[in-house]
Structure 1
Amino acid sequence: MITIFINEPQVKAVKSDLLHHSRGNKLVKSSCLTEALACAFGFHTNAAMLESFKIVEPPLCVEFSAERFWVRLSELEGVFPSELQSEFCFDLPKSVYKAIGIRDLRETITLSSAFINQLDKFFKLMASQGAAYFVVGASRIPNSFMGIGTSYRGGRGAMRPCFTPEKPSDLWQWDNSSWSALLADDFLVDNPDPERDLLRWASKAHKLLEPNLRLGDVEFNAKIGLVVKHEVIENCTETILYQRPGQREDVLASDALHRDVIEGTRRDLLDVPFA
């Protein structure tokens, strides 16, 4: 299972791959493939998924599971999952990663236990305190290039919308992204940690990827984890290296709780009688 961002055109691209692959295969119906794909992205029905694209600003943050796809397809077709996978040879994760342009290397790399603990602590804090992301500006030029080297610089950050209060009137010249970035900087200042070094972590992330790959920024995203941007490889321009288990659920719970607190405060203010 992996947490990803996805939009409707990307879902349609995966669906197109599925339907193309299923031509001439009498074992599965196209309507069942459509419903099973929606289940793989965490929705009960395809209609529910399409409705979500209408009411939530894209991209959607979903948990993708190939296992859910085969289980749901098995239920709809009345055929054992193992038989379906044997007869309908289709690499669904590969199709999804191609559509969204992201690789998943979590199972093929090794992170030290100390680094995992540091990342766990940071992402858990991001989930509970409302941080959306932090980007380390970075670039690594492969050894075959003149002037080789790697550079890292402090990048930008942002808070999640429900944790971003209204911008003060005296900052009228600031845009919303600048205001959110300021709050993200405050988040780091208000939660000091001697073990936290985003630039050093970005360097570690770069070293986990192919040595001859031109690399770019490193993002610590509250929803999808540690992500490295790079030149195109395997039809992808980003690679996910780490996701904290349960992170998406923690983000959703924290956002919901904070919205409830804000709404409760507003109600209390409205109930205060005028003097």
Structure 2
Amino acid sequence: MSNPDPASSRRQFLKVSSLSGTGAAALLGTTAASHAGDTPTPPADDSRADLGGAPVCDVSATLWPLKTRVNALKQLLYDKGVFTEAMLGGFVDYYTNVVTPRLGATVIAHAWKNPAFAAALTNPPASEPFAATRIIRDFLKDRQLISPQSTGGWSIGPEGEWLRVVQNGPASPGAPPVHNLVVCTLCSCYPQALLGIQPVWYKSRQYRSRAVCAPRGIIREFAAAKPANRLAPYGIPNYQPYVESYLSRLSEIRVWDSNSEARFLVIPSRPAYVSDSWSEQQMTDLISRDSMIGTDIL
């Protein structure tokens, strides 16, 4: 009997087990705290011989500049016929100029206006943990925002097929709110099909590490970079105290580790200054890319 494909087996395991409850990735903000003291202390230098010698690398190595390495890898893939320069250029152009964060913001605005739609996105059945992908596909198709020709045969485009949606706000009526933050601790996994190309900071080692251990600090730093009068048109004269007030009301921050098996999209809390009289178009204009990652407070 042939061995099962490892990737297929892993995906099936995620579908029927962890995904049915909490998502494809570990809920790092909760898990890390409960196991903070479980990591064993590394052996001292003089005990390495007992473990088979020195670690993999005890010396520093000089790498070629990143641009040089990327260009060399691209040329190798061209030479092997994996893809052509035109194909790569078309992919980058599509995700830079066609798929922008506005596509994701359109979905979020509809969720703000329609609680049933939001509930369907955030509470998939155990038998279909990635139901959000299908729901979003149908919604965007109905509005003629995507087509089979534009998505390359994927439901909503590459890097959007395995999507989970999480929502900021009270976990239950009357409960204190929770906040969700998305990171890829390994590289830069991200729902490009809805948000376009990843921002540079999302790929940085600083964000990938600090989002796990200091998510509040990350949110504060993003807020500090915004103009103080950012929300003045909505009756909020100073943005930074507004963010501090938001953070003080949270019961927890959930940090989701996006990976090759699943991408995560955040429905930001709908601000109190956004009334029911707002149109979906107005809401879409307000929703930022970073708020759908969890680093921006609207």
Same fold (TM over 0.5): no
Q: Could you state the TM-score of these two structures normalised by the residue count of structure 1?
A: 0.26
Considering Cα pairs closer than 8 Å and 6+ residues apart, tell me whether 1 or 2 has the greater RCO: 2
Q: Could you state the TM-score of these two structures normalised by the residue count of structure 2?
A: 0.25
Answer 1 or 2: which has greater strand percent: 1
